[in-house]
Amino acid sequence: MTWSCVSRRARSEPLPRAALCRYDCPHAALAPHDVGVVTMRQRGVTLLGMVFFGVVAAMLLVLAAKVVPTVTEYLAIQKAVNRAAQSGTTVTEIRNAFERAKTADYFEAISGQDLEISKDGDKIVVEFAYDKEVHLFGPAYLLLKYRGRSQ
C-alpha cells in the first residue's frame, strides 16, 4: 500500500508509507499534516474550562456585591468627617455635626463617640477607625479594616 501527499497526489506520484508528508512535502511548513491527511490543531475552551471560569467569575461577583456596600459606607463616613471637621470648633459641635450627617447619609458603622478629635496647629483633625466583617459562606468571613482622617 502506498500513501501520497495531497500535493503529490495531484501529480500521481505515490510515496511509500514510511515517508511522512510533514518531512518531505514542500508545503508542510504552511499547514501541519500527515501523509494524505490534513490535521488542524483545535483551539478554544473546553466545557470543563468554561465551567471553571464561570464558577470563578460567579464567586468574584458575589464577593464584589458584598464588599461594595462597605466601601460606599466608608466613603460616606469620610465625607461626613470632612464636613464635621470644617463646620465645628469644639469637640461637641464636631460630634453633633457628624451625628446629623450620619442620620442623613444612613450609615451605622460608627457614631460620633468613636471619633478621635485633636488639634494640629490651628487645624482640627478628626480621625476614625473601624472594622467591618463580611460573611462569605459557612464559617468564612472577610475582615475589612477602615481608617481615615479629615483633610
Q: Which residues pair with 148 in a beta bridge?
A: 128
Concatenated DSSP letters of 124-150: EEEEEEEEEEEEEETTEEEEEEEEEE-
With 50 as the cut, is the pLDDT of residue 73 above it? Answer: yes
Question: From the centroid of its chain, how far is CA 136?
Answer: 16
Contact 130, 110 (CB under 8 A): yes
Rounded to whole angstroms, the Cα distance separating 65 from 86 reads 33
Question: From the centroid of its chain, how far is CA 48?
Answer: 22
Question: Residue 43's pLDDT is what?
Answer: 84
Q: Which pLDDT band, with edges at 50, 70 and 90, does 87 fall under?
A: confident
Question: Residue 6's pLDDT is what?
Answer: 53
For the chain, percent of residues with pLDDT exceeding 90: 51
Helix (H/G/I), strand (E/B), else coil: 43: coil
Question: Residue 122's pLDDT is what?
Answer: 85
With 70 as the cut, is the pLDDT of residue 33 above it? Answer: no
On the 0-12 / 13-18 / 19+ scale of CB atoms within 10 A, 127 is middle
Task: Summarize the confidence of residues 34-48 as an average pLDDT.
Answer: 76
With 80 as the cut, is the pLDDT of residue 14 above it? Answer: no
Q: Which pLDDT band, with edges at 50, 70 and 90, does 53 fall under?
A: very high
More confident residue, 144 or 15: 144
Task: Give the torsion through C-alpha atoms of 82, 119, 116, 101, to 10 deg.
Answer: -30
